[in-house]
Amino acid sequence: MRNILIIGAGRSATSLIRYLLDKSEEENLFITIGDISVQSAKKLIQNHPNAKGILLDVFNDAQRKEAVKNSDIVISMLPARYHIEVAKDCLALGKNMVTASYVSKEMQALNPKAEAKGLIFMNEIGLDPGVDHMSAMQIIDRIRAKGGKMLLFESFCGGLIAPESDDNLWNYKFTWNPRNVVLAGQGGAAEFIQEGKYKYIPYHRLFRRTEFINIEGYGKFEVLANRNSLQYQSVYGLEDILTLYRGTIRRVGFSKAWNMFVQLGMTDDTYTIPDSENLTYRDFVNLFLAYSPTDSVELKLRYALKIDQDDLMWEKLEELDIFNDKKTIGIKNATPAMALQKILEEKWTLSEEDKDMIVMYHKFGYELNGEKHQIDSHMTLIGEDQTHTAMAKTVGLPVAIAAIKILNGEITTPGVQRPIAKEVYEPILKELEDHGVIFKEEEVKYLGYNPENLHLG
Amino acid sequence: MRNILIIGAGRSATSLIRYLLDKSEEENLFITIGDISVQSAKKLIQNHPNAKGILLDVFNDAQRKEAVKNSDIVISMLPARYHIEVAKDCLALGKNMVTASYVSKEMQALNPKAEAKGLIFMNEIGLDPGVDHMSAMQIIDRIRAKGGKMLLFESFCGGLIAPESDDNLWNYKFTWNPRNVVLAGQGGAAEFIQEGKYKYIPYHRLFRRTEFINIEGYGKFEVLANRNSLQYQSVYGLEDILTLYRGTIRRVGFSKAWNMFVQLGMTDDTYTIPDSENLTYRDFVNLFLAYSPTDSVELKLRYALKIDQDDLMWEKLEELDIFNDKKTIGIKNATPAMALQKILEEKWTLSEEDKDMIVMYHKFGYELNGEKHQIDSHMTLIGEDQTHTAMAKTVGLPVAIAAIKILNGEITTPGVQRPIAKEVYEPILKELEDHGVIFKEEEVKYLGYNPENLHLG
């Protein structure tokens, strides 16, 4: 038996655990799930003979070390900031490790020691980061192998609601951590390059500078820039690329409507509101509007945001019941972002029948033998149900597959890693196809952002 | 001879030093001016027999302690963050101290020890903070002495260009630290209270939520909210007040035009621009606009900010020569804010003949014997010249006067202080009148923000 320790039994772990349980006989696995709630851990196991749930408080050094010691490989599904303690144990006790999170500075600093000990610390192997790295590097490596020179790389991803469950005016529900959605884009200007020109978008303009994509069978989507496109230059070896842009996918119209919250200041997470617990939704809205008791909150908001009476933006606000003067925020010391999240969760939480959808879209522009080419590649996946969502599958399956391939000696390069090497992405992408994670590729005319390709007049 | 040590011989120290030199015979003073540049110190003294300039690097412990030891009182005109080292020396060596800066947490922490040693550390005794505290507390104390209950306190201040020197479309020039002007309002939402309702304005809306005031002889001005109005509740003992709002005064139209920079992201100080040194002004503007080589930077900006062709906003931009494709930023590793400051300084620096102007305006609403009243009080001051600006006088004179009154035992309460006690503000305000700092007071109808006072219909 090979022992796999999974730390964290949250909703990102469902498909990961199902996959490993399904493989446990064939691969000779015993799976231990450690969580601060033993109930959560046990629920995911459902009495499977090759698994057990244990109490694991990641801040309890003895408990954590003991669990790591008894394992052959460790999967940490904790929030990113907690990985580092687990990683240090893995280093001390000589265990390989897998996470779906971005490589932190602290994690990167362990690289020399991990390499020296021959240990594999595989990170960024969920969906985004993860499937994006693998599916992009597969095509970039192929272009390079032909002798092509990369000109453009754009990569977009979104966790959305499936069309069959899309029944609100925002064309959106929370399929993942709502707090991250509310805070998305904050913390600094978005930075990217287009045709060699650096471009910056401040947070308060981010939701008004969207681009559009069409996906066969699903129609039109919008893309808003991620903060940190430029760091992909070094990760993918694209230092000389002319266009590098990463973004988040939403249904068309979401960003324009979300911008209302940004403009009002409702997404601010830097201060707390006095007596937020007893504030009504209407009071909350009024915090961000001029004092004028002769005017309704509604008219003040319409005036502040210049919303015409026949503008769909207005229906979107009303759908959220945001002017309700009975419902209260009910959270002590809430920031505006926390209060807004509360209001949105009431309307945007998945119902039992709802299914989610993952959309990923890449564009690769390159030059080969003096000619410009472009490959577009995209993937869509609809979730099974509320447990095995498309998000849980696309985040969890690559982690699970990687863990087995490390155990089996098929992934071998030691150190703090991302899944950008062929030895990693080829077999994982191949197996993901069996689970419906399939990229469709097409050659398109290279457009870039060049004037000769644009309609003038 | 009583020895006064002044640390920092910047342009905020000119009127302060002239005042003390003028008083040196009568008051038996010897003034030592310590600065990192002995030349700067000596220039301000102009061979006056009762003064000397010395080299003083505030980071040189021995040098600093020696200078403090030889003084009877220390005036620190350094940037606020450097006061604390001086204050610790004053504490150790038993010297009183005066600054024009906000009380920092570190400074406040010295209060028990300063009190125990009977030392006066007088802070916030410049213009804003300073003259605002004194002129406000004088009226608030008078209202309270009559038995009145404060309902409303609004206080505005601006450093502007005098009408006779007002010759650009922005009706603005830099009369003080340009960097502070570029960064004004950043770092969190503006918070205030109106009629008991908390109100918040995010930075990107701050310049579109202005109020207006009229000043006899000078016309109309606009006011934008300061970040931190609420902290004045405890400083002034206004915990139960219904309306508390502090703001910055500009000429009407400035904020709407400044908002263009905010919207584009040009005031951001959190990241540096690659190769900023060689960037032209035009390139700089283009950083914040969509990539579209078929369109001019001008049209992209007009489109992004929805500026009509006959909108005066456009002339304001052109006046700054912001679309120039020859002039370069010329600063390595510049942030957008630094680059913008460079562009503005070229146009907004005072010329030799220019005079500045200080405007301060307070509103006091109160209830007395069941009736509501309001007092408005305002002060305007035009600078003498570029050395003795209205800013240098209003910042420096209260500091100088306070220092002499502490030396003379007229200000006696020990501890870390602000000038909010009658013993401090009465004599200082009286003497400031001799220097043209005169508040005009008038009883007006109490308006507040109550519906019955507003025109309906």
Q: Mark which residues 205-244 of A lie under 8 Å from B by CB.
A: 205, 209
The reply to whether residue A287 touches residue B209, judged by beta carbons under 8 angstroms, is: no
DSSP of A121-133, one letter per residue?
EE-S-BBTTBHHH
**How many beta-carbon pairs below 8 A join chains A and B?**
99
Q: Mark which residues 275-314 of A lie under 8 Å from B by CB.
A: 286-294
Count of alpha carbons within 13 angstroms of residue A39, beta-carbon side: 0
Comparing CA positions, the residue from B205, B34, B211, B6 lying closest to residue B98 is B6
- Asked if A48 is an interface residue toward chain B (Cβ–Cβ < 8 A), one would say no
Angle at A48 between CA A44 and CA A50, to 5 degrees: 110
- Which pLDDT does position A451 carry in this prediction? 56
- Which pLDDT does position B12 carry in this prediction? 85
Chain A nearest C-alpha distance from B246 (Å): 15
Residue B457: pLDDT above 50?
A: no
Angle at A230 between CA A228 and CA A234, to 5 degrees: 120
Q: What is the pLDDT of residues B383-399, one digit of tens each?
A: 999 889 999 999 999 99
Count of alpha carbons within 13 angstroms of residue A409, beta-carbon side: 0
Angle at B17 between CA B14 and CA B19, to 5 degrees: 105
Residues forming beta bridges with residue A98, ordered by sequence position: A75, A122
Give me the mean pLDDT over the B356-360 stretch. Answer: 98
Q: What is the pLDDT of residues B222-275, one digit of tens each?
A: 999 998 888 889 999 999 999 999 999 999 999 999 999 999 999 999 999 999
φ and ψ of B107, to 5 deg? -65, -45
Whole-angstrom distance, CA of residue A320 vs CA of residue A297: 15
Q: Are B383 and B355 in contact (CB under 8 A)?
A: yes
The reply to whether residue A271 touches residue B199, judged by beta carbons under 8 angstroms, is: no
Helix (H) or strand (E) holding B24: helix B14-27
Q: Which of B194, B200, B201 to mutate to test the interface with A (most CBs of A within 10 A)?
A: B200
Whole-angstrom distance, CA of residue B42 vs CA of residue A403: 73
Chain A nearest C-alpha distance from B229 (Å): 14
Whole-angstrom distance, CA of residue B385 vs CA of residue B383: 6
Could you tell me the two tokens for B377?
Answer: 């009080």
Could you tell me the two tokens for B39?
Answer: 């030349």
Whole-angstrom distance, CA of residue A220 vs CA of residue A139: 24
Nearest to A200 among B201, B287, B451 (CB): B287
Chain B nearest C-alpha distance from A173 (Å): 26
Whole-angstrom distance, CA of residue A288 vs CA of residue A299: 13
φ and ψ of B407, to 5 deg? -55, -40
Angle at B357 between CA B356 and CA B363, to 5 degrees: 160
Give me the mean pLDDT over the B210-216 stretch. Answer: 93
Contacts of residue B191 in chain A, CB cutoff 8 Å? 271
Q: Are B403 and B394 in contact (CB under 8 A)?
A: no
Indicate the pLDDT class of residue B450, thresholds 50, 70 and 90: low
Q: Are B227 and B187 in contact (CB under 8 A)?
A: yes
Q: Which residue of B has its CA nearest to A292?
A: B449
- Asked if B145 is an interface residue toward chain A (Cβ–Cβ < 8 A), one would say no
Q: Is the dihedral of CA B226, B228, B232, B233 positive or negative?
A: positive
- Which pLDDT does position A409 carry in this prediction? 95
- Which pLDDT does position B231 carry in this prediction? 85
Candidate CATH numbers 3.20.20.20, 3.40.50.300, 2.50.20.10, 3.40.50.720; the one for domain A2-122 = 3.40.50.720
Comparing CA positions, the residue from A100, A42, A45, A182 lying closest to residue A400 is A100
Query: Which residues contact residue A233 at a Cβ distance below 8 angstroms, ignoring those fewer than 6 apart?
Result: A239, A241, A244
The reply to whether residue B293 touches residue A263, judged by beta carbons under 8 angstroms, is: no
As a dihedral over the C-alpha atoms of residue B247, residue B252, residue B255, residue B257, rounded to 10 degrees, the angle is -170
Assign a CATH topology to domain A131-257+352-386+437-456.
Answer: Dihydrodipicolinate Reductase; domain 2 (3.30.360)
Indicate the pLDDT class of residue B205, thresholds 50, 70 and 90: very high
- Asked if B456 is an interface residue toward chain A (Cβ–Cβ < 8 A), one would say yes
- pTM for the model stands at 0.89
Specify burial of residue B414 (Cβ count, 10 A radius: 0-12, 13-18, 19+). middle
- Which pLDDT does position A306 carry in this prediction? 94
The reply to whether residue B200 touches residue A292, judged by beta carbons under 8 angstroms, is: no
Chain B nearest C-alpha distance from A287 (Å): 5
Nearest to A294 among B263, B265, B454 (CB): B454
Chain B nearest C-alpha distance from A142 (Å): 29
The reply to whether residue A200 touches residue B449, judged by beta carbons under 8 angstroms, is: no
- Which pLDDT does position A397 carry in this prediction? 97
Comparing CA positions, the residue from A281, A248, A285, A241 lying closest to residue A264 is A285
Whole-angstrom distance, CA of residue B98 vs CA of residue B405: 11
Could you tell me the two tokens for B50?
Answer: 């009762």
- Which pLDDT does position A229 carry in this prediction? 87
- Asked if B197 is an interface residue toward chain A (Cβ–Cβ < 8 A), one would say yes
Give me the mean pLDDT over the B401-415 stretch. Answer: 96
Cis peptide before A129 (omega within 30 of 0): yes
Could you tell me the two tokens for A329?
Answer: 């925020």
- Which pLDDT does position A232 carry in this prediction? 87
Chain A nearest C-alpha distance from B325 (Å): 15
φ and ψ of B354, to 5 deg? -65, 145
The segments of chain A whose pLDDT lies below 50 read 455-457
Chain B nearest C-alpha distance from A199 (Å): 5
Specify burial of residue A179 (Cβ count, 10 A radius: 0-12, 13-18, 19+). middle
Residue B318: pLDDT above 80?
A: yes
Helix or strand or coil: residue B439?
coil
Q: Are B281 and B341 in contact (CB under 8 A)?
A: no
The reply to whether residue A291 touches residue B264, judged by beta carbons under 8 angstroms, is: no
| CA separation, residue A172 to residues A158, A165, A262, A312, A329 (Å) | 11, 10, 17, 15, 22
**In chain B, where the domains are located:** 2-122, 131-257+352-386+437-456, 266-348
The reply to whether residue B270 touches residue A204, judged by beta carbons under 8 angstroms, is: no
Could you tell me the two tokens for A145?
Answer: 């192998």
Pairing of strands B29-35, B51-55: parallel
In B291-446 the beta strands, taken as DSSP E runs, fall at 356-368, 371-382, 415-417, 440-444
Residue B406: pLDDT above 60?
A: yes
Q: Are A49 and A384 in contact (CB under 8 A)?
A: no
Q: Which of B206, B294, B299 to mutate to test the interface with A (most CBs of A within 10 A)?
A: B294
Helix or strand or coil: residue B346?
helix
Which residue has 């080829």 as its token pair? A426
Chain A nearest C-alpha distance from B194 (Å): 6
Q: What is the pLDDT of residues B138-185, one digit of tens each?
A: 999 999 999 999 999 999 999 999 999 999 999 999 998 899 999 999
Whole-angstrom distance, CA of residue A58 vs CA of residue A52: 17
Whole-angstrom distance, CA of residue B383 vs CA of residue B267: 29
Domains A2-122 and A131-257+352-386+437-456 are alike in CATH topology = no
N- to C-terminal Cα distance for chain A? 70
Nearest to B188 among A271, A291, A451 (CB): A271
**Count of helices and strands (H, E) across chain A:** 17, 16
Measured from the Cβ of residue A89, the count of other Cβ atoms closer than 10 Å reads 20
**Interface pTM (ipTM) of the complex?**
0.84
The full length of chain A comes to: 457
Pairing of strands A51-55, A73-76: unpaired
Helix or strand or coil: residue B65?
helix
Indicate the pLDDT class of residue B452, thresholds 50, 70 and 90: low
Could you tell me the two tokens for B71?
Answer: 């003084």
